[in-house]
Amino acid sequence: MAPIRAVPLMGVDARVWRGRLFYGAIVAALAYLIVVPVWRLQSLAFDDGGAGYKSQFGRSDIGDTLRTTVVLALASLAIAMVLGTLLAFAVTRLPHRAGFLRIIPVLPIVMPSVANVVGWAFLLSPGPGYLNALLRQLPWWDHLDSGPVNVYSSTWIIIITGFGLTSFVYLFVSAGMQNISSEHLEAAQSSGSSQLGVFFKVVLPLLRPSLVYGGGVALLLGLGQFTGPLLLGQNEGMKVLTTEMYRRTSESPVNYAAAAAAASPLVILGLLVVFGQRFLLGNQSRFVTHGGKSFAPVGGRSWWAAAFVAGYGLVALVLPLLGVLIVSLSPYWSENLSWDLFTLDNYRKLVDTPGIIESVTTSVGTSLAAVAVCVPVGLAIAMLVVRNQHLKVIRTLGDVISALPLGIPSVIFGVGFLLTYTQPPFILYGTKWVIILVYIVLMIPFATRMQMTALISMGNTYTEASAVSGASPLVTSLRVTLPMLKPAVLSAVALMFILLTHEFAASLMVRSATTQVMGTVLYDHWSNGSYTLVAAMAILMSAVTTAGVAVAMMVGGRNVLDNL
Amino acid sequence: MRMKRLAATMAGGLLSVAALAGCGSDSGGGEVAGSWDEILTAADKEGEVVIYGTVAPDNLELLKKAFEKKYPKIKLTYVRGTDADLLPKVEIENQTGRGTADVHMTTDAGWIDRNLDTDSSVDIVGPSFDDEAYDKAKSVIDDKWFLTSATVFGMAWNTDKLPTGIKTPADVLDPALAGGKIGVTNPSGIPTYVDMYRQINDDWGPGFVDKLAAQKPRVYDSAVAVGQAIASGEIWASPTIGSTILTEKANGAPVEFMIPEKPFGVPWYSHVLSSSPHPNAAQVLADFLVTPEGQAAISHDFIPVLPDIEGTGVAGTDVLAQEIPLGDPDELSGDSVAAYQQEWEKKFLG
């Protein structure tokens, strides 16, 4: 009997060890990519008796910088939470004929944040801003020669940042909203509750987990905001921790230690949120949502919902896009518009100006390369976390490490990568490799989480049913698991492509003078004041992303963005 | 089985990465050839040269056209940025040995001084440096740094917004221009501006900079951005360099520029980098910069290093770049610049 029992045990042991080795290697590689740059950067801040901290936190304006960072994060979070939640609710109440509007809340994600920010500058710059020029036609403002709105003020930077975060909050909240059974809402309504009553007494309490999680992520994104403060804030001296990091790396010689010190509060907060989230959520298999009964999305006949969603689309997407479009068709940016002046010269300049076409190919190439790595690695980590609970240590490490980039602002990874890859053993400065590597790091949480969510919500019942019906593990994988994951993978690919072709903060740190992506080239032209070219570039960036989404829709169906 | 599929998918992903990225970098260049003719031949073979410069983008574009016309086998790539953008990049390239730039232009006297004793530059060897009109003794430092151009700071304004114009720098202190109608350049990372603010604080009237700060001006990252902001009417006036304004004026923008009684000038010096990936083409470009064709491009609307070059110079002055001294490096040390920067930020952004 003994030899007969020993064979399967050895087989199990070998399988477990193969799993340990395979997943261990992936987690080790991720740890090197994700943890080492941040660790090296942070340890620099402590060198020479904490010289980095003395340099950064000894500055006379550090109090203002910290205060501005917190105020920007909290105030933009408040805007995003209110708008994101209302949008998610409004989308569930859309009349059937206005159902197409449900795509609107995620569309601002397709517009690059740099394009959005410059779009608002073109509209609301106190001097030549188009909306300001219109507002100055009103009788009570016709005496003004500039304003009334100042897009460079902290108030407006907060509002624009809040709009930018709204789509992210919406994604989390609408996911939670879809899990609210229509029976709850119908029961409340048939008991005489108004729509407002339903929202405050039923929807909001049920959404609490989504709101807490989405709010946490949006808070971290707010604390790590870089684009708005950098592009708009410099005019009036707005400083946040991320822009301070950028300034310290723009000094000669580069002051990595001070940049690292500026990053420390954000790293600590990020770690707290990532570990806190893990502690609070615990065993994720508790969140299986596929049940025996279907959960049909609730419908509605509320035209106020259609008006609200359309209004949001107008303000968050159409207006900034219009601002960018008008400047891109003008010979120079001026409040005085005339049909005679419209020209396509700026689009011709896109082709003639050195570096712009190269930046498009670099952006698309590095983004696709990073996505090609992230999908399989994300799937491996998702499988490790969901289906390999016996590998406790590796599983926990994989889970936490893959979540870290969501908690730590991308600008910190940018500086960490600049430091790490300009020194032995891997000197990658000036190559596209360093951009691909930092993109992989930034996207790993999305690749992992989206596939993990799909695996968790599938539960084991489908694979067990397949096995009970006599299918082998291979057949189950091919005919059950992978087809069910396909929408999640395609959505992940679409989201990663969108986010990467927009990527700006980390790219700005790791780019070299001739290896640039679209966002960094746009920023350089913005700094040089080539506003018309910036506008044409912003349209080009949006077009590239839209083309990517169109391809994803052709492959994955029209609901690819819905699955976000 | 699932493991094998995962491994295969990952391998596929990684292969795609290599294919999609088409990665590679500039490898370090070879040696500088012996005679000038050999250098020219070697430069043609290298076929490419990269210059980093803080001069206006339009001038770099002119330089590209003029250089490629004379040397059609060598493609010139330029990167325009402020010293804050470019100096860290030059340092990193030198530190890693992974050079992208071949030639670099700067106005930062402190940085030039700190780099004189390092191995970051190589000797220039072109024949044009020996041209009598160039005056090598006055124009070249340590056989490495060569005078390339110069600019002058004055007052610029938008003629639509200020039809009466500006006669003296004190005109921008008019209370009607307070609250964001004046633009200034942030000296952060650009020591030349530290030098400029220190200088005009005495030359343009007692306490001029303090009074300027009290006007609550709008702050920009570069003189080029200031020029565009004046052209668009975002700001009405600014103490800035003339060249970008004159370029905008030539494009039809409603702008004007005047040189005050005591203008502040600053010279550009260039050097060939030791991390240059195209060392021969770098020497050819360095040489070209001080030829009449090169000056007509790089010093268009700027102050040239050679006399009688059409299209160069700024109206109101006929000086050559050799007459504009480089700043005092002792006053532009890292600590001194950082201290002034903090002081400036308190005044202008506090």
Q: What is the pLDDT of residues A276-303, one digit of tens each?
A: 776 765 544 444 444 444 344 455 677 8
Residue A355, pLDDT score: 86
pLDDT digits (tens, 9 = 90+) for B213-227: 999 998 888 888 888
Q: Please give the full DSSP string across B16-68, using - where no structure is assigned.
A: HHHHHH----PPP--PPPSSHHHHHHHHHHH-EEEEEE-S-HHHHHHHHHHHH
Closest-CA distance, B22 to chain A, in angstroms, reads 8
Q: What is the pLDDT of residue B82?
A: 84
Q: Mean pLDDT across the stretch A399-404? A: 88
Provide the sign of the torsion angle of the four alpha carbons B226, B231, B234, B239, taken in this order: positive
Q: How many CB atoms lie within 10 A of CB B14?
A: 15
How many CA atoms are closer than 13 Å to the CA of B209, on its beta-carbon side? Answer: 21
Output the six-digit token pair for B102: 């071949």
For residue A110, how far is the Cα from the chain centroid? 11
Write out the DSSP string of B153-169.
Answer: EEEEEETTT-TT--SSG
Higher pLDDT, A447 or A97: A447
pLDDT for residue A319: 93
Residue from A245, A268, A270 nearest A52 by CA: A245
Please choose, from the candidates B78, B37, B25, the residue with its C-alpha nearest in 3D space to the C-alpha of residue B54.
B78
The yes/no answer to whether this complex scores an ipTM above 0.90 is: no
**Average model confidence (pLDDT) across chain A:** 83
Q: For residue A219, what pLDDT is reported?
A: 87
Q: What is the pLDDT of residue B29?
A: 52
Residue B92 CA, chain-centre distance (Å), reads: 18
**Given CB atoms, is B349 within the 8 Å cutoff of chain A?**
yes
Q: Distance between the two ends of chain A, CA-based, in angstroms?
A: 54
pLDDT digits 0-9 by tens, A414-464? 989 888 888 878 888 888 999 999 999 999 998 898 888 788 777 778 877
A232 touches A157 (CB < 8 A): yes
Nearest to A495 by CA among A556, A433, A564, A547: A564
> Residue by residue, what is the 3-state secondary structure of B51-62?
EEECCCHHHHHH
pLDDT digits (tens, 9 = 90+) for B243-254: 778 878 887 889
Q: How confident is the model at residue A5, as a pLDDT?
A: 47
User: In this predicted model, which residue has the larger pLDDT, B98 or A158?
Assistant: A158
Q: Do residues A141 and A221 make contact, with C-beta atoms less than 8 angstroms apart?
A: no
pLDDT for the residue B9: 46
Give the pLDDT of residue A280: 66
Q: A interface mutation test: which of B2, B4, B5, B20 has the most A CBs within 10 A?
A: B20
Closest by alpha carbon to A503, among A428, A441, A564, A560? A441
Residues of chain A with C-beta less than 8 angstroms from the C-beta of B221: 234, 527
- Taking CB atoms and an 8 Å limit, are A128 and B79 in contact across chains? no
The closest CB to that of A530, out of B79, B218, B228, belongs to: B228
What is the per-residue pLDDT for A294?
A: 38
Distance between CA atoms of A281 and B225, rounded to whole angstroms? 49
State the Cα–Cα distance between residues A490 and A492, nearest whole angstrom.
Answer: 5
Minimum CA–CA partner of B333 in chain A: A252
The answer to whether A415 and A263 have CB atoms below 8 angstroms apart is: yes
Query: Which three-class secondary structure state does DSSP give residue B302?
Result: coil
Q: How does residue A12 score in pLDDT terms, banded at 50, 70 and 90?
A: low
- Report the alpha-carbon distance of residue B194 to residue B209 in Å, rounded: 11
Give the other-Cβ count within 10 Å of A344's Cβ: 10
pLDDT at B148: 96
Contact call for A375 and B218, based on CB within 8 A: no
User: Higher confidence at residue A115 or residue A211?
Assistant: A115
Q: Which residues sit opposite B269 in a β-bridge?
A: B106, B147
What is the structure's pLDDT at A287?
43
Selected for mutation to probe chain B from A357, A466, A528 (highest B CB count within 10 Å) is: A528
Query: Cα separation of B188 and A77, whole Å?
Result: 30
Residue B67 and residue B76 in contact, taking contact as beta carbons nearer than 8 Å: yes
Q: Does residue A99 surpass a pLDDT of 80? A: no
What would the pLDDT profile of A345-397 be if each residue is shown by its tens digit? 899 988 888 889 999 999 999 999 999 999 989 988 988 888 777 778 888 89
What are the CA-CA distances from residue A245 to residues A225, A256, A414, B191 (Å)? Answer: 12, 8, 10, 19
Radius of gyration of chain B (CA): 23
Cβ pairs bridging A and B (under 8 Å): 203
Tens place of pLDDT per residue across chain B (350 aa): 444 444 444 444 444 444 444 443 344 456 777 899 999 999 999 999 999 999 988 899 999 999 999 999 999 999 988 888 899 889 888 888 888 999 999 999 889 998 888 888 999 999 999 999 999 999 999 999 999 999 888 899 999 989 999 999 999 999 999 888 899 998 887 888 898 999 899 889 889 999 999 999 988 888 888 888 898 888 999 999 887 788 788 878 899 998 888 888 899 999 999 999 999 999 999 999 999 999 999 999 889 999 988 888 876 667 899 988 888 888 888 788 888 888 898 888 87
For residue B84, how far is the Cα from the chain centroid?
A: 10
Residue B148's SS3 state is: strand
What integer is the mean pLDDT of A125-145?
Answer: 86
**In chain A, what residues touch B233 (CB-CB under 8 Å)?**
127-128, 334-335
The tokens for B194 are 């530290």
Place of tokens 């975002």: B234
Query: Are A178 and A88 a contacting pair, CB within 8 Å?
Result: no
- The answer to whether residues B138 and B290 touch, using CB atoms and an 8 Å cutoff, is no
* DSSP run (H or E) holding B238: strand B237-241
Do residues A222 and A161 make contact, with C-beta atoms less than 8 angstroms apart? yes
Q: Note the pLDDT of residue B136.
A: 92
Q: How far apart are CA A341 and CA A326, in angstroms?
A: 11
Give the pLDDT of residue B17.
44
**Interchain CB distance below 8 Å, B224 and A433:** no
Distance from CA of B134 to the nearest CA of A (A): 31
B235 Cβ under 8 Å from any chain A Cβ = yes
pLDDT of residue A459: 74
**Does the beta-carbon distance from A527 to B87 stay under 8 Å?**
no
From chain A, pick out residues whose CB is under 8 angstroms from the CB of B349.
Answer: 236-237
How much is the pLDDT for B316? 63
Instruction: Return the amino acid letter for B96.
Output: T
CA B79 – CA A207 distance, rounded (Å): 51
Interchain pair A513, B24: CB under 8 A = no
